[in-house]
Structure 1
């Protein structure tokens, strides 16, 4: 395996690890440091003692996505869009409980960035990660199943968040559905990128062909 390939596997794995750790660290960390119960959304942890972790992790994911180069121009454009959107989610926080007009406008920008971020990541899973050379290995076919499931999970979470926010937010507030759906979407994102980095379902190295001993 060349250094070039290793560097891109590292980027994919790093993005995946950060995605999986983000919900765990901010939710558990906030309870340990502050207590007070769960917040209404993952983005709400911007207003907790874990703000720097939340912002720093999203910015780190954004930087890794900017550095990421895929197999073609579409991959690069999608990575850059996701990077800008992820950093936008971090720098334009969700609106607080009693927002000023400015905070309300920033909150709308946050929602737009978040939607673009997850939609682009779902696009990666459903259309870019599933590409192959026409003769995929068994492991590659298995990885494609993982990518498609993760992409569908992210899209389903987005739809459910919107539906809940429009019609059921008051009735379901105590259950924190947005928090869990956002966390599930982020887990799916991280799981897909870990798989792309071949931490999961990696291709097996080709067996070395041993030469026959000489008869001489």
Structure 2
């Protein structure tokens, strides 16, 4: 049975996500005032905002993995986004006139992949000790995480320069796409038809979540059409992160009305 302390901890993790996004926004804004606009949020890695950028994305990844979704499907999406976010921080986006520090990128990436492997083994041991077999979504999460890890290790060992040049973009895609899935999986339709749960979602804000999904799609379409604009990528990232923050804010409000019904909060995350 979920205790009051577990409920409080769960809400604090959600609040921490908002605090981390706020820290990133403040740091980027301050650096923009001081040094001018960059072409993307990722480009602030090379500025005075770099340490906050790295720290915030790494901590956001930890929070996403630590959170337990209402369904196994949501949990898989949270974990995939969570394990991808730190790689976005550790591998900077290529910028014209700035040579990547390949030895540092390789060191950071391999260190992270090694820790991820240890965590994966711990999850496997926990799954083996649980009664019954993992759900199809749980198995899918384990397989996808293992595949992503294998691709990362093989890539960085086989071609360090290619990894340093392209891993950032790939990790960013696999951070934002699963997060969009998280929003959909908080709707009643997502719970019933994607997660294949018999019970409806406990949300009181179904329409608001669908509005956020529509907003994400609109941001991507608008800035894809304006791809020739120098700041199109920055606009895309700012728009998606703003919607990301809005979603977590709404979830904090939504949770107040039905958190006790989310029975999986204290369980081991299903990769």
The answer to whether the Cα contact below 8 Å between 2:60 and 2:85 also exists between their aligned partners in 1 is: yes
**Aligned equivalent of 1:66:** 65
**Aligned equivalent of 2:244:** 189
Distance change >3 Å, CA 30–CA 81, structure 1 → 2:
same
**Aligned equivalent of 2:213:** 151
Which structure has the larger Rg over C-alpha atoms? 1
Looking at structure 2, the residues matched to 146 and 20 of structure 1 have their Cα atoms a distance apart, in angstroms, of 21
Which of the numbers 150, 167, 170 marks the counterpart of 1:112? 170
Where do 1:125-136 residues align within 5 Å?
125-128=183-186, 130=188, 131=191, 133-134=199-200
Instruction: Give how far 1:148 is off.
Output: 1.8
Looking at structure 2, the residues matched to 104 and 47 of structure 1 have their Cα atoms a distance apart, in angstroms, of 19
Pairwise CA RMSD: 2.8
Where do 1:1-216 residues align within 5 Å?
2-22=4-24, 24-32=25-33, 35-98=34-97, 105-128=163-186, 130=188, 131=191, 133-134=199-200, 140-141=203-204, 143-165=205-227, 168=228, 172-173=229-230, 176-198=231-253, 202-203=256-257
Instruction: Give how far 1:129 is off.
Output: 5.2
SS of aligned partner of 2:185: helix
SS of aligned partner of 2:48: coil
Which string of whole-angstrom CA distances, capped at 9 and with x for unpartnered residues, describes residues 75-133 of structure 1? 22211110111111111110021366966642421111111111111110112355484
**Aligned equivalent of 1:212:** none
Looking at structure 1, the residues matched to 217 and 61 of structure 2 have their Cα atoms a distance apart, in angstroms, of 20
What TM-score results when the alignment is normalised by the length of structure 1? 0.75
**Aligned equivalent of 1:209:** none
Range that drifts further, 88-97 or 127-136: 127-136
Instruction: Give how far 1:161 is off.
Output: 4.2
SS of aligned partner of 1:197: helix
Instruction: Give how far 1:66 is off.
Output: 1.5
What TM-score results when the alignment is normalised by the length of structure 2? 0.61
Range that drifts further, 4-13 or 123-132: 123-132
Which string of whole-angstrom CA distances, capped at 9 and with x for unpartnered residues, describes residues 148-186 of structure 1? 222232233334444444xx2xxx22xx23212211110
SS of aligned partner of 1:66: helix
Segments of 5+ residues of structure 2 without an aligned counterpart are: 101-159, 193-198, 259-271
**Aligned equivalent of 1:208:** none
**Aligned equivalent of 1:213:** none
